Structure 1
C-alpha cells in the first residue's frame, strides 16, 4: 500500500531545518519526530544553507517593491473593472428603456 505524498510548507521546512541546525537532536530523531526521510531533511538543509545569503541580499527589497507595485496595480484594475461593469449595466438598462419607448411611440 503506497503512502500519500505530503506537502510541506516553507515555514514547516524552515522549522525542521532550524531544529536540525540547533544540534539538540540528531538527524534520525528529527526525521522520526516529523515522519520525514533523513535524505529529504538533508536536502532541505543543503538548500537552506545555499540560499541563506538571500536574506541579506538587497535584491530581495527590489522583489518586495515590485510585488507591492503589482498589488497596487491589481487593486486599481479591479476598481476600474467594477466601474466599467457599472457603466455597461447602466447602458444596457437605458438601451432597454429606449427600445420600449420606441415601441410605445409606434
Structure 2
C-alpha cells in the first residue's frame, strides 16, 4: 500500500517531530505531504458568543441599514453585549456590510464618456430568455455565512444557474 493511498489526516499523524534519524523534510517527502500542513493549526469555528453578536448585527442591519459602527455598538450594548467599536468594525468587515449614508457628491460625469441608455425602460417582457438578471445574497449559517449567486429569467422566474461559496470572491 503506497503512502498516497492512506488518507491525508492519517499521514499527517504519522510524522514524528523528534524522530532520531529522519528529519521533518524527509518524512514529508516519504509520506507525500506538504510541510506547511504539519505546522498549520486551524482557527476553529466561531464561538457561540461571536455568532450571537453577528446574528444580532444581521437582524439590526436588516431593519436599520444606516447604523454605522458607533450606533451598532451602542445598540448591542443596550441589548446586553459587552463589545467594543473595534470588534463591531471587524464584524462589519467579516460580514461585508457597511452603513448606508449619503456619500460624497460623485454624480458629476465626465462629458467625454458615453452615456448608455437603460434598455429595459418601457419594454414588455413577454417571452422566455428575453431578459436575465443576477443577484448575490448571503445566508447566515452556524459557522459564518454562505453567499448565493443566481441568474434568473425575468419572464418565467426560472433560476438558470446558481453558485454558492463561503467567500464573495
TM-score (norm 2): 0.24
Larger strand proportion of the pair: 2
Larger helix proportion of the pair: 1
TM-score (norm 1): 0.34
Find the structure with the greater CA-based Rg: 1
- Ranked by relative contact order (alpha carbons within 8 Å, sequence separation 6 or more), the top structure is 1
